[in-house]
Chains A and B, each alone.
Chain A
């Protein structure tokens, strides 16, 4: 996160015209994100589509696949504009990384098995910020299971069952949700409450 200031100073190297272009594109992305502006998106499209098409043509040597790359890349830009962070780099670099991911998937498409990995898993650039658990979920890395084992008997039943399955049986939260037939959100909140309680118990006895 300290990395950003240096990244920004790097951009000083850009030519003024490039900087203007980048600022304009960032503004348009913000409009798409905030108000779903089709006009702003169309402007972005007419700027980036030909560039993406040229990139795709060089990569695939095939016009149709190049157009697929344009469409899929710009579809992600339309839906994910809110994930662009101007302090992390230029709009075109962000769009390039999306295109790079689409290219990866298109290149593998013909040999794709059903459970084949996708670029979005390998480069989670389009992941929503809160798609993983919040910090309250994690205990200190060094707290050993034995400590939890010592106290978890004091938890309410519903929380204890969830903690047992996750921490002792090593199940994922989704698996716990499936096996108990309760919503994933409930598993998460029970885990959170249980860990909060355990932390208190461990601190009390330290």
Chain B
């Protein structure tokens, strides 16, 4: 069972289209994996629709004559353009991603962004990264940790959202499984690691990470490399 979900406020912003592109991708991928949030978002969309559309006009039988603001002539012109328009080609999805002999099936939203996922780069040890080209360059990445991998302790400045796409990892506070959505705010220090299983996560952040542990002196020069391109 997924135990860590986006807050209702975030789901509301997601459904209204008010989140940035990278956060929309992470939240949307969580929703693909989470029947509970699917249900909630469905209800929020109905609610938003009531606010924004349903309350405006009640009848369906008005002939296309004078509505406030749209003249009959304007309507006819728009209809003509619509009937003669071409359908946009649908966005292609591709579900599979491979790394180091492991294959992962991507959830629906991420699968529709497969072409935005760049090449894997080995960062340090058994830690891999592939950039996802959405939003500011380098802010959104797939991160793969092989079993027994530790991300050096680091502090976030700004906000980081992480979604477990497949596998399990833990930090000092908790253990996270498939579908868990973790939002870290501001000045928090943590050390993600894997033990027996590997883990594929999707992460997006506002600000680059700052490493704090002993190894940080080693890594800090790379930290720009690490989460940005």
Contact = CB atoms under 8 A, between A and B. Distances in A.
A binds B: yes
Interface of A: 2-3, 6-7, 10, 17-18, 21, 24-25, 38, 41-43, 45-55, 58, 63, 67, 70-71, 74-76, 78-80, 88-90, 92-93, 95-97, 99-101, 103-104, 108, 115, 117-124, 126-128, 131-133, 137-139, 141, 144-146, 149, 166-168, 170, 172-174
A172 B95 CA distance: 10
A51 B82 contact: no
Leading 8 A-B pairs by shortest Cβ distance: A145-B101, A79-B87, A96-B49, A132-B93, A46-B64, A51-B56, A50-B67, A170-B98
Contact of B82 (A75, A93, A97): A75
12 contacts: A46-B75, A50-B56, A50-B67, A50-B68, A95-B49, A100-B17, A103-B17, A117-B113, A120-B90, A131-B91, A132-B111, A145-B102
A117 B110 CA distance: 12
Contacts, number: 203
Contact of B93 (A38, A75, A127): A127
Given A55-B52, A89-B42, A2 B35 contact: yes
A177 to B, nearest CB: 12
B94 A50 contact: no
B28 interface: yes
Given A48-B53, A78-B83, A96 B45 contact: yes
B42 A70 contact: no
B78 A138 contact: no
Contact of B95 (A76, A90, A123, A133): A133
Given A49-B70, A133-B95, 5 more contacts: A49-B75, A122-B24, A124-B91, A137-B96, A146-B101
B214 interface: no
A17 B60 CA distance: 11
Contacts of A53: 67, 69-70
Contacts of A126: 90
A76 B133 CA distance: 26
Contacts of A95: 49, 53
A205 B18 CA distance: 53
A37 to B, nearest CB: 11
A25 B58 CA distance: 12
Interface in B119-138: 119-120, 133-135
Given A74-B82, A89-B42, A146-B101, A174 B21 contact: no
B98 A166 contact: yes
B58 A17 contact: yes
Given A50-B70, A115-B133, A96 B52 contact: yes
Interface string B10-31: 0000011100010011001000
Nearest to A18: B54
A90 B57 contact: no
Given A78-B85, A100-B16, A100-B17, A144 B90 contact: no
